[in-house]
């Protein structure tokens, strides 16, 4: 959210209509005097504002991507330090606020999996001791809603399968074989909710690239492997919509 070009994080929950953002502007210099939140997720938004202020208006997660990865031992140490500061701040806020448990768990997993992902992705194809990588669960339903969890899984699976880290372009003849191998590995390595969401994300991304035949063949192959049928139903509906649009 930007107010007079000043950025600030807010947390939105689908279906919630209770959030109210109240901004007081200092008339003398037109700077933000105060920012208050009301509603069911007000404490989460307040936490994000306190975090923004505590770290001198520097977004730690964005900063991590700017850390020099030339010397991986220094890179790893800096990532560990940044994550430790974030986790300590979260623990402090957890004590003195009413942050819901689900959000605390979400924030912890997001911090830890982003760190693990950046370490693994920057170490691609380098001969490093296993101690360089974070000891972090691969199958983790508690991290199902973390964006960085799936980036970490993708980096790990690509490394295991000796696949290129970023994948080929849609015009590349290796596009389909890349996804077929990646999905086969994911299906063999992942379990439960993490398996379902990873497979759904992968097929949905292929659908968005308008590779309908590839998406349909992958859905046919793995539909029976979903532990929850709602994901297969969602993909079938998306595929049907795109095929109908293609014919119209």
Smallest CA-to-CA distance from 134 within 108, 113, 163, 151 is with 113
Closest CA to 206 of 191, 217, 193: 217
Domain ranges in the chain are 1-58, 59-142, 167-248
pTM for the model: 0.84
212-220: which pairs have CB atoms within 8 A and are 24 or more residues apart?
A: 212/239, 212/242, 212/243, 212/246, 214/175, 214/176, 214/179, 215/239, 218/179, 218/180, 218/183
So what's the pLDDT on residue 30?
A: 67
SS3 97: coil
Q: What pLDDT was estimated at residue 163? A: 93
Q: Which pLDDT does position 184 carry in this prediction?
A: 97
Instruction: State whether residue 71 is helix, strand or coil.
Output: coil
Structure-block tokens of residue 208: 């968005």
**Torsion from C-alpha of 207, 209, 212, 217, nearest 10 degrees:** -70
List b or e across 149-168, with b for residues whose CB sees 16 or more CB atoms inside 10 angstroms. bbbbbbbbbbbeeebeeebe
Cβ atoms of 20 and 38 within 8 Å: the answer is yes
* Gap between the terminal Cα atoms of the chain: 38
Separation of alpha carbons 31 and 27, rounded Å = 8
Q: What is the pLDDT along the chain (248 residues), one digit of tens a residue?
A: 887 777 778 888 889 999 998 888 777 766 777 788 999 999 999 898 888 888 765 666 777 776 777 788 888 898 999 999 999 999 988 877 788 888 999 999 999 999 999 998 888 777 888 788 899 999 998 898 899 999 999 999 999 999 988 889 999 999 999 999 999 999 999 999 999 999 999 999 999 999 999 999 999 999 999 999 999 999 999 999 999 988 87
Q: In terms of DSSP bridges, do strands 2-3 and 6-7 run parallel, antiparallel, or are they unpaired?
A: antiparallel
Q: How high is the pLDDT of residue 53?
A: 80
pLDDT at 59: 66
Task: Copy the structure tokens of residue 69.
Answer: 């990865």
So what's the pLDDT on residue 96?
77
Between helices 42-54 and 72-96, what is the axis angle to 10°? Answer: 130
Return the closest-CA partner of residue 82 out of 68, 104, 103, 61.
Answer: 61
Instruction: Provide Rg for the chain, Cα atoms.
Output: 21
């Amino acid at each position: 959210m930007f107010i007079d070009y000043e950025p600030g994080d807010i947390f939105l929950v689908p279906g919630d209509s209770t959030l109210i953002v109240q901004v007081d502007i200092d008339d003398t210099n037109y700077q933000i005097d105060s920012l208050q939140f009301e509603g069911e997720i007000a404490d989460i938004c307040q936490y994000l504002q306190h975090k923004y202020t505590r770290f001198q208006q520097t977004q730690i997660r964005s900063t991590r991507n700017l850390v020099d990865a030339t010397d991986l031992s220094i890179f790893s140490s800096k990532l560990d330090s940044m994550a430790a500061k974030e986790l300590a701040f979260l623990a402090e806020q957890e004590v003195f606020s009413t942050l819901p448990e689900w959000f605390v768990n979400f924030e912890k997993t997001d911090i830890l999996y982003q760190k693990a992902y950046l370490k693994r992705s920057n170490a691609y194809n380098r001969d490093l001791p296993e101690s360089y990588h974070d000891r972090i669960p691969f199958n983790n339903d508690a991290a199902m809603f973390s964006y960085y969890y799936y980036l970490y899984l993708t980096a790990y699976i690509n490394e295991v399968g000796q696949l290129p880290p970023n994948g080929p372009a849609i015009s590349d003849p290796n596009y389909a074989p890349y996804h077929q191998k990646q999905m086969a590995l994911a299906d063999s390595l992942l379990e439960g909710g993490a398996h379902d969401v990873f497979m759904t994300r992968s097929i949905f991304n292929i659908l968005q690239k308008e590779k309908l035949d590839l998406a349909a063949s992958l859905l046919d192959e793995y539909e029976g492997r979903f532990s929850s049928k709602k994901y297969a139903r969602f993909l079938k509906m998306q595929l049907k919509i795109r095929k109908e649009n293609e014919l119209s």
